[in-house]
A and B are shown apart, each in its own frame.
Chain A
């Protein structure tokens, strides 16, 4: 269960520590041009024809950069800076935003995803989560990057129910961030076993002694499905039935929204197949 990271109490989130760390690139003025690869998470219009592109990169972490003129239909790399595209980039460090000077497509996951609406909506929830879970700009987040690329590849291959791929990604992304839910022990006292209650606020399954008021009582199969998704056991996950998948999605969504205070907007629009 190597994917299950440490659980941190809310007051000692690792994210807080990362905030304090100095930004490595950009503000010292020494590095002006750099190269990286990344996945485009989001684009926003800027002025007449530019876009602000948010990327999760392999080496630099979260980067917000300007793509100049990319909305003009004659742009050299407009299509390469669309969400879901895994690109090889060259950037120029700017005072407020970096500027993308070159972009080459490594893999365009958008094309297969956009042709399948449920897969597309699952994918957008993954992109939004990646941005909101990493939060801090220019702080390397290699495991989150690898997890996202792996998740998008699995989603695009269309071998599994997109909702399962999304939930697996969300659980693992939370685990990497230090918020893995307890699924095989009590989140409060640590006593081992398959406990019947799940308390989002407590951090996972809870025993009958520790069970806070208002805990959910999911089917044991649902908790097993969550554990299977967390450790990447697709054989078990694919064998699950719809009822438990739905219950699992509900618990994962509640758990994710609890940990990311700003919430994941696109989760509401994810379609079930």
Chain B
């Protein structure tokens, strides 16, 4: 254990995802040795992100206004919605330049073992968006792993009575991975070759 302020910092850093106690200590001492101006810039970035960034009221993506850039863009196809787990998946798909519709960010995947059920995700909001009859295709782009597949199965069954075209990204994506790690070419191909779900 260190003196108050240093230990406080280590404790706070240690609460970040993927940062273990050793990494927290390493980062803390790195910051301690850094220039004051550098640290102030980091502090500013942290405060700014909390003050300025919020979640799009339509799709749940990160946004700096009431609605995100994509939802505000009139050139985007309002008839197609691509459902993803996280905002970082929006970034990955945007990189492919393959998709011109809009998104819906669930905020995770159904994970019974972590206690995350359908009610804990933005599924009710998705159903509300689908109910206005403007949307004709729903692309399920949850991660190509078990929880992502289970979430896609759940959603496909849920929207079935609405008679939409429901598609799933083609299986060019390796199973078990995170969508964010897929390279643009593979992800782009997965979009082109998406298949209809028959459930």
Contact = CB atoms under 8 A, between A and B. Distances in A.
Given A75-B174, A84-B146, A266-B112, 19 more contacts: A42-B113, A45-B17, A47-B18, A48-B18, A49-B181, A71-B181, A73-B178, A73-B186, A74-B174, A75-B177, A78-B174, A78-B177, A79-B174, A79-B176, A82-B146, A125-B112, A265-B113, A265-B114, A269-B112
Interface of B: 17-18, 110, 112-115, 117, 144-146, 149-150, 153-154, 157, 173-178, 181-183, 186
A50 B12 CA distance: 23
A117 B157 contact: yes
Contacts of A120: 150, 153
Contacts of A121: 112
B174 A114 contact: no
A71 B112 contact: no
| Residue among B112, B150, B182 having the largest count of chain A Cβ atoms under 10 Å | B112
Contacts of B18: 45-48
Contact of A114 (B115, B146, B182): B146
A72 B117 contact: no
A110 B148 CA distance: 12
B150 A114 contact: yes
A264 B157 CA distance: 26
Contacts of B175: 78-79, 82
B112 to A, nearest CB: 3
B153 A114 contact: yes
Contacts of A82: 145-146, 175-176
Given A70-B176, A117-B150, A266 B113 contact: yes
A270 B115 CA distance: 11
Contacts of A70: 176
A188 B51 CA distance: 62
A241 B112 CA distance: 27
Contacts of B112: 121, 124-125, 128, 265-266, 268-270
The CB with the most chain B CB atoms within 10 A, among A42, A84, A114, A116, is that of A114
Interface of A: 42, 45-49, 70-75, 77-84, 110, 114-117, 120-121, 124-125, 127-128, 265-266, 268-270
A84 B102 CA distance: 34
Given A72-B181, A73-B182, A269-B112, A117 B153 contact: yes
A9 B48 CA distance: 58
Contact of B154 (A72, A117, A270): A117
Most B-side CB within 10 Å, residue of A42, A84, A266: A266
B146 A73 contact: no
A115 B153 contact: yes
A178 to B, nearest CB: 25
A33 to B, nearest CB: 24
Contact of A71 (B17, B146, B178): B178
A110 B113 contact: no
B177 A114 contact: no
A77 B154 CA distance: 26
Given A47-B18, A115-B153, A72 B177 contact: yes
24 contacts: A45-B17, A70-B176, A71-B176, A72-B177, A73-B173, A73-B177, A73-B186, A75-B174, A77-B176, A78-B177, A82-B176, A114-B150, A115-B153, A116-B153, A117-B153, A121-B112, A124-B113, A265-B113, A265-B114, A266-B112, A268-B112, A269-B115, A269-B117, A270-B112
